[in-house]
Amino acid sequence: QTNKFEVGLEGGPSLISLRGNDILDNINNDLSFGFSSGLTFQYNFTKLISIRTNISFERKGFTIQGTATDQTGNQIGEITSHSYFDYLTIPILGRLTFGKKINFFVNAGPYIGYLIKQTDITEAFGEYSKTKNDNTDNYKRTDLGITTGLGARFPIKNKLFLSIEIR
C-alpha cells in the first residue's frame, strides 16, 4: 500500500550556465557548478500517478574567463568572473512511477522562481584584489519555466527512500 502523502529532503549539485540573449551568446560562458536544496512534498493519487512540489534554494549563473587589458590594450592578466543568481524556486510536477522494488519515475511541470540575490565576483589577478558586487536591483525578480526529470527511488527502510534524479 502506498502512502498518500510524502515529505522529504532534496539536494544536490548542478551544472549551471546562462543563455538566451545576444550578450550571453557572444561571451565565453563556461559551465560552472551550482547547487539546489530544499523540502519536498508529494501526493500520490495512485501507485502510478502523483503530484510533487518543493521549495528550494537554487543557485544559477555562469563563469567567464578571459584576458584583462589596460587602457592601451596591453594584456595585464587572466581574469575569472562568476555571476551568481540565488533563487527560491517552487515547481509543480506531475510524476509517473513504475517498477516494483525499485521505482523508476519521470516528471514534468512548470516552476516559478524568485530572485533573492544576484552577485558578481571577480577573482583577484595581478595587482587587482577580488571584487564582489550585489546587482540584485538590476534584474527582474521572477523566473518562470518548465522542468523535466527522470530518476529512480530505492527503499532503505520502511517508509525511508533514497532517490536519484536528473532534472
pLDDT tens column, 57-97? 999 988 888 888 888 988 888 888 888 999 999 999 999 99
- pLDDT of 103 higher than 90: yes
Whole-number mean pLDDT of the chain? Answer: 89
Question: By percentage, how much of the chain surpasses pLDDT 90?
Answer: 60
**Whole-number pLDDT of residue 117:** 97
Mean pLDDT, residues 46-54: 95
- pLDDT of 1 higher than 50: no
Tell me the residue type at 82. H
Task: Name the least confident of 14-18, 127-131, 152-156.
Answer: 14-18
Nearest in space to 92 (alpha carbons), one of 50, 132, 129: 50
Question: By percentage, how much of the chain surpasses pLDDT 70?
Answer: 92
Classify residue 107 as left (phi > 0), alpha (psi -120 to 50) or beta: beta
Task: Name the least confident of 28-37, 74-83, 93-102.
Answer: 28-37
Cα distance between residue 24 and residue 34, in whole Å: 18
**CA dihedral sign, ordered 21, 22, 24, 29:** positive
Which one-letter DSSP state was computed for residue 26?
A: T
